[in-house]
Amino acid sequence: MRALDGVHDPEIRKPITELGMVKDVEVAPDGAVRVQVWLTVSGCPLRDTITRDVQAAVSKLPGVSGVLVTLDVMSDEQRRELQGRLRGGKPEREIPFASPASLTKVYAIASGKGGVGKSSVTVNLAVALAAAGQKVGLLDADIYGHSVPRMLGVSGRPTQVEQMIMPPSAHGVKAISAGMLKPGGNDPLPFRGPILHRLLQQFLADVYWGDLDVLLLDLPPGTGDVAISAGHLVPGSELIVVTTPQLAAAEVAERAGSLASQLHQRIAGVIENMAYLPCPHCDERIEVFGSGGGKVVTQALTKVTGAPVPLLGQVPIDLSLREAGDNGSPIVITDPNAPAARELTRISGVLAARSRSLAGRQLGLTPV
């Protein structure tokens, strides 16, 4: 056990003995040693590193003829105990939006794949809501592919006051993004699952958002760690699925929306982006990417969830939408009469009028 004190978990960087990861040690009369180790998660990518380090540490002991390492996986209770041990017994910081008393409407904007314009839609919805008098926060949860700072035109960095992070704001929207925290302008963030969860938790709990009417979460594409963590950390959040018209994109979007039913989230609706190209010479709609993708997704998700999922809107292809995003000046304020801007503003009005989801809230009912 003293030899194992020198073996550290590669991610947590603490001794495996201190973390309660040593399940059992058996020493045979012939010097053969069997060490059983608890892994924190199934399929741990660093299991080979842990095995190798344990073998190296124990093999150095006199009289050891061989070392066999067997691995098991911690239970949920063991992981909770580990988390408590890492926090030093201190409770986790409270996420205000997870409280049943919270009046903030939280919308998680999701897509099945990248390239459908999810972030452009999210930024413009946030700015349109703020322009209408709503107090709005925008959390860029797309840690690897963050683009909110550029599209929103945020150039400042968050300010830390004691344990609180003050988010910068632009166009009336408070925003936080991993892109604001990097010392290098466009350096990559090589984070893995557990760190992504903790970063999202910090953004939700440690950022001083104030009293928000609406919080938008720009999720990364797909159904990975961040999407799952967001559903668990803010159980009252509702999902908005962004897709494009073509069937291939719609089928992938269905998977992202179906995750909501597994996380017991409500789906607020579907937005079909790049729905058509308005002809510059007439009133005809040119369906560059086909048609009907948004309707296909709503029908599929209605069937999966058992509740009606509306098509919130169809945003046309607009060159000025892309240009405005590149310049950090969202189209809903730079060119409010553009077809895309009018549709995004209309959708924001629909979202502002909706009541907060009842998921995770106490209804004050008692049995008779």
Q: Which of 22-36, 52-66, 151-165, 213-227 has the lowest mean pLDDT?
A: 151-165
Closest CA to 206 of 107, 139, 108: 139
Burial of 98 (0-12, 13-18, 19+ CB in 10 A): middle
What average pLDDT score do residues 304-331 get?
89
Q: For residues 245 and 301, what is the distance between their CA atoms, to the nearest angstrom?
A: 16
Name the average pLDDT for the chain.
Answer: 84
Q: Which has the higher per-residue pLDDT, 331 or 357?
A: 331
Question: How many Cβ atoms from other residues are within 10 Å of residue 45's Cβ?
Answer: 11
Using CA atoms, how far residue 362 sits from 98, 108, 216, in Å, is: 12, 22, 23
Asked whether residue 125 carries a pLDDT value surpassing 90, the answer given is yes
For the chain, list the domains and their CATH numbers: 4-86 (3.30.300.130), 99-353 (3.40.50.300)
Contacts with 116 (C-beta within 8 Å, 6 or more apart), sequence order:
221, 242, 243, 244, 249, 253, 273, 274
Q: For residues 207 and 307, what is the distance between their CA atoms, to the nearest angstrom?
A: 34
Q: Which has the higher per-residue pLDDT, 135 or 42?
A: 135
**SS3 call for 276:** coil
Q: Please, what is the Cα angle at 103 between 219 and 141, to 5 degrees?
A: 15
CB 135 within 8 A of CB 211: yes
Question: How many Cβ atoms from other residues are within 10 Å of residue 274's Cβ?
Answer: 26
Split at pLDDT 50, 70, 90, the class of 90 is low
Contacts with 172 (C-beta within 8 Å, 6 or more apart), sequence order:
127, 130, 131, 136
The arrangement of strands across the sheet holding 105-110 comes to: 169-170, 173-177, 136-140, 214-218, 105-110, 238-243, 266-273, 311-315
Q: Which has the higher per-residue pLDDT, 141 or 11?
A: 141
Q: How far is residue 25 CA from its own chain's centroid? A: 40
CB 46 within 8 A of CB 10: yes
* Residues present in the chain in total: 368
Contacts with 239 (C-beta within 8 Å, 6 or more apart), sequence order:
107, 108, 110, 256, 257, 259, 260, 265, 266, 267, 268
The DSSP code for 78 is H
Q: For residues 80 and 69, what is the distance between their CA atoms, to the nearest angstrom?
A: 24
CB 117 within 8 A of CB 164: no
Split at pLDDT 50, 70, 90, the class of 92 is low
Asked whether residue 285 carries a pLDDT value surpassing 70, the answer given is yes
Q: What proportions of the chain, in percent to the nearest 5, are helix, strand and coil?
A: 35, 20, 45
What average pLDDT score do residues 215-231 get?
84
What average pLDDT score do residues 143-157 get?
83
| pLDDT score at 51 | 94
| pLDDT score at 13 | 67
Q: How far is residue 338 CA from its own chain's centroid? A: 31
Global confidence as pTM: 0.69
| pLDDT score at 99 | 84
| pLDDT score at 226 | 81
In the chain, the DSSP E strands lie at: 22-27, 32-39, 66-73, 105-110, 136-140, 159-161, 164-166, 169-170, 173-177, 214-218, 238-243, 266-273, 277-278, 285-286, 311-315
Question: How many Cβ atoms from other residues are within 10 Å of residue 139's Cβ?
Answer: 27
Q: For residues 257 and 277, what is the distance between their CA atoms, to the nearest angstrom?
A: 26
What six digits make up the tokens of 274?
């790049």
Q: Which of 27-41, 85-99, 197-211 has the lowest mean pLDDT?
A: 85-99
Q: For residues 164 and 148, what is the distance between their CA atoms, to the nearest angstrom?
A: 21
% of the chain residues with pLDDT over 70: 86
